[in-house]
């Protein structure tokens, strides 16, 4: 949440910062701002709304070689110019961008800023004034910056410019992501590698509580104890083109279409050509000791966890619980004797999930993060990591990361089940089954016009919708409903099909859209019965059924796949339905209101 980018020592500073901000808009897009500086000449421009708006404000402003920029997801204070970053201290000497939440900003205000009238309501404005306060007390900039950091409680990724020495950027990080990019005779900083990938593929990690002084040619890292730290750069595997839309109208449509390739990629990453698991043996040996697996996640990742539970239980015989991170952090259930934690997080930065991991680490328990982002906070802090290998996911609504999370849990379940000598795991040929899934995904992706038509027919004017299913279909119905509500703003609920009659069926009226999911032989007749019940009360039911369980009149028939893998294909029409519902309402598919992709506040 909130994106930061900065550059020092490059005359294209404005262009570099704006390009970076565009790439970081997935982190928040309520407002944007830029500060450019050289030889104590500087300019600050801020605007509510998107980076495209900011771009209009800086036309013709050129020639600066130091810059910082920010794209905001509002936490403290509404999205307006005064609350947008960079914040300039009242003295006009310091400019700062911040990502994170300063929990004690009111106390800091009372302690240091009784004589300062703040322009906005943000916690971030307070901390730049605190730097200014210490500087006015006679401290040099690094000491003033450090003194401010010593006072601060909360999370931050920070970049500060001192107008009086704008050949340096002062940086710090704690619990919010920040990365250094190394250019030739210039250096960069950003919330992620994508923000800098057009300029470099050489990056240096920053650890929590470190401070950095960055110039065009030097990078000095200090740890908490004020000791200098030497750290090598690494080469990023992503390509600038991975972050472009290409010919697609939206990132979401591109990312939906990429799912067959992701499935094939996962086969290569996690299985040998003979079908043996490539999952590191230390993960399997840690897990095999456990008597209960706890899956932790939020939103779509939590939904993937619900699917993963059924797969892992079936393949390994180990009981699995799935928990919402935001609940578990403050309401830890009674744990089994040998628990094993799996953190599902596409971004690897989600604050709710991280606070559970912090507690798990305090308890000394083993954990695995399944994430799309190598080197992300939850990846670094868990015992082990498995990557999703899905490529950058930029649309706020998660699609390929969801199916990839499911597939990785399947691969993990098979490897663990085989190690436990489970027949069901040994008999599951995942090269074969995931290849079939990839092929079926392609067939479904080719049917875009069908989803476009069905979305018009069922969801064109509705204010609400229901998704119903049983078992794995229920888990997928929750995800289908979330996709629809987050990008089309149609109020949608996923329901266990048999549960509607226990209360919620009261909401069904003439024309209410109900999307029924049927992929399980054992429960298909019951779900069909539930669909008839809602139709009898006026609902317009769209039925999506797996081949073999389909009936004449069903709207979408999914080609047959292995019964454990049905969520991977059921997800595709649901993602498209949400996509078209958003498109038909003329909404911003990739950047829905009030949301951000990386949720770094609790």
Q: What residues make contact with ligand F6R under the rule CB under 6 A? A: 298-301, 345-347, 350, 353, 397-398, 482, 486, 599
Smallest gap, in angstroms, from Cβ of residue 567 to ligand F6R? 15
User: CA neighbours within 13 Å on the CB side: how many for 394?
Assistant: 22
Alpha helices in 446-502 (DSSP H): 448-459, 472-488
Supply 142's token pair. Answer: 């690094």
Q: Considering the complex, state which of residue 253 and residue 346 has its C-beta at the smaller distance from ligand F6R.
A: 346
Q: Measured between alpha carbons, how far is 50 from 56 in angstroms, rounded to an integer?
A: 11
Q: Measured between alpha carbons, how far is 381 from 208 in angstroms, rounded to an integer?
A: 11
Smallest gap, in angstroms, from Cβ of residue 453 to ligand F6R? 24
Nearest to 49 by CA among 20, 87, 78, 15: 78
Buried b (16+ CB within 10 A) or exposed e, 522-542: ebbeebbebbebbeeeebbbb
On whether the CB atoms of residues 361 and 333 are closer than 8 A, the answer is no
Q: Measured between alpha carbons, how far is 350 from 298 in angstroms, rounded to an integer?
A: 8
Smallest gap, in angstroms, from Cβ of residue 77 to ligand F6R? 22
Smallest gap, in angstroms, from Cβ of residue 481 to ligand F6R? 11
Nearest to 574 by CA among 544, 535, 533: 544
Buried b (16+ CB within 10 A) or exposed e, 462-493: bebbbbbbbbbbbbbbbbbbbbbbbbbbbebb
597 annotated active-site: yes
Smallest gap, in angstroms, from Cβ of residue 58 to ligand F6R? 31
Q: Considering the complex, state which of residue 132 and residue 486 has its C-beta at the smaller distance from ligand F6R.
A: 486
Query: Which helix (H) or strand (E) covers residue 496, if one does?
Result: strand 491-496
Q: Measured between alpha carbons, how far is 355 from 330 in angstroms, rounded to an integer?
A: 9
Q: Regarding beta strands 367-371 and 540-546, do their DSSP bridges make them parallel or antiparallel, or are they unpaired?
A: unpaired
Supply 186's token pair. Answer: 């210039």
Smallest gap, in angstroms, from Cβ of residue 488 to ligand F6R? 12
Q: Considering the complex, state which of residue 31 and residue 345 has its C-beta at the smaller distance from ligand F6R.
A: 345
Q: Considering the complex, state which of residue 116 and residue 595 has its C-beta at the smaller distance from ligand F6R.
A: 595
Q: Measured between alpha carbons, how far is 261 from 390 in angstroms, rounded to an integer?
A: 9
From the candidates 14, 173, 400, 597, which is the catalytic residue? 597
Smallest gap, in angstroms, from Cβ of residue 248 to ligand F6R? 18
Smallest gap, in angstroms, from Cβ of residue 349 to ligand F6R? 7
Q: Considering the complex, state which of residue 259 and residue 345 has its C-beta at the smaller distance from ligand F6R.
A: 345
φ/ψ of residue 46, rounded to 5: -140, 150
On whether the CB atoms of residues 298 and 352 are closer than 8 A, the answer is yes
Q: Secondary structure of the chain: what % helix, strand, coil (to 5)? A: 40, 20, 35
Q: Considering the complex, state which of residue 3 and residue 67 has its C-beta at the smaller distance from ligand F6R.
A: 3
Q: Measured between alpha carbons, how far is 187 from 121 in angstroms, rounded to an integer?
A: 32
Nearest to 43 by CA among 52, 33, 56: 33
Q: Considering the complex, state which of residue 187 and residue 372 has its C-beta at the smaller distance from ligand F6R.
A: 372
Tell me which residue has its CB nearest to ligand F6R.
299
User: CA neighbours within 13 Å on the CB side: how many for 196?
Assistant: 30
Q: Considering the complex, state which of residue 347 and residue 582 has its C-beta at the smaller distance from ligand F6R.
A: 347
Q: Which residues are part of the catalytic machinery?
A: 2, 597
């Amino acid at each position: 949440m909130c994106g930061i980018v900065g550059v020092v020592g490059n005359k294209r500073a404005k262009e570099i910062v704006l390009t970076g901000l565009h790439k970081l808009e997935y982190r928040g897009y309520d407002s944007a701002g830029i500060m450019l500086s050289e030889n104590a000449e500087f300019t600050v421009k801020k605007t509510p709304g998107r980076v495209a708006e900011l771009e209009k404000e800086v036309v013709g402003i050129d020639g600066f070689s130091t810059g910082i920029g920010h794209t905001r997801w509002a936490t403290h204070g509404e999205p307006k110019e005064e609350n947008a970053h960079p914040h300039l201290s009242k003295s006009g000497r310091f400019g700062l961008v911040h990502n994170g939440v300063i929990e004690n900003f009111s106390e800091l205000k009372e302690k240091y800023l009784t004589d300062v009238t703040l322009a906005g309501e943000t916690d971030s404005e307070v901390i730049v004034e605190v730097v200014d306060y210490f500087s006015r007390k006679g401290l040099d900039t690094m000491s003033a910056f450090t003194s401010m950091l010593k006072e601060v409680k909360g999370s931050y990724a920070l970049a500060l410019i001192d107008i009086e020495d704008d050949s340096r950027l002062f940086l710090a990080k704690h619990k919010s992501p920040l990365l250094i990019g190394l250019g030739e005779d210039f250096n960069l900083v950003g919330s992620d590698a994508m923000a800098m990938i057009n300029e470099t593929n050489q990056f240096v990690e920053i650890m929590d509580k470190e401070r950095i002084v960055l110039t065009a040619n030097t990078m000095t890292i200090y740890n908490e104890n004020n000791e200098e730290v030497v750290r090598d750069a690494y080469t990023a595997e992503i390509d600038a083109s991975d972050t472009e839309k290409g010919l697609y109208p939206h990132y979401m449509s591109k990312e939906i279409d990429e799912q067959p390739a992701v499935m094939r990629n996962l086969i290569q990453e996690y299985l040998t050509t003979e079908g043996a698991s490539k999952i590191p043996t230390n993960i399997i040996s840690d897990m095999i000791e456990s008597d209960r697996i706890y899956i932790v996640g939020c939103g779509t990742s939590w939904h993937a966890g619900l699917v993963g539970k059924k797969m892992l239980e079936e393949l390994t015989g180990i009981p699995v619980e799935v928990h919402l991170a935001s609940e578990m952090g403050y309401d830890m259930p009674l744990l089994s004797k040998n628990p094993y934690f799996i953190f599902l997080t596409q971004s690897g930065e989600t604050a709710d999930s991280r606070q559970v991991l912090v507690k798990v680490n305090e308890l000394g328990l083993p954990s695995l993060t399944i994430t799309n982002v190598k080197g992300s906070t939850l990846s670094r802090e868990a015992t082990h990591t498995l990557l999703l290998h899905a490529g950058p996911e930029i649309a706020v609504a998660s699609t390929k990361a969801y199916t990839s999370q499911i597939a990785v849990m399947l691969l993990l379940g098979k490897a663990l089940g085989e190690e436990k000598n489970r027949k069901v795991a040994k008999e599951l040929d995942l090269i074969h089954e995931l290849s079939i899934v990839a092929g079926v995904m392609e067939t479904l992706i080719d049917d875009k016009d069908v989803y476009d038509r069905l979305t018009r027919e069922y969801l064109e004017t509705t204010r609400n919708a229901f998704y119903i299913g049983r078992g794995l279909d229920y888990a997928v119905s929750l995800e289908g409903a979330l996709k629809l509500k987050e990008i089309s703003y149609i109020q949608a609920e996923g329901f266990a099909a048999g549960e509607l009659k226990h209360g919620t069926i009261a909401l069904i009226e003439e024309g209410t859209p109900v999307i029924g999911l049927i992929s399980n032989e054992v429960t298909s007749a019951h779900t069909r019965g539930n669909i008839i019940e809602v139709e009898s009360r006026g609902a317009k039911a769209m039925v999506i059924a797996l081949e073999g369980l389909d009936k004449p009149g069903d709207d979408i028939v999914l080609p047959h796949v292995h019964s454990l893998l049905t969520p991977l294909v059921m997800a595709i029409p649901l993602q498209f339905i949400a996509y078209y519902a958003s498109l038909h309402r003329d909404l911003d598919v990739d950047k829905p209101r009030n949301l951000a992709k990386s949720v770094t506040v609790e």
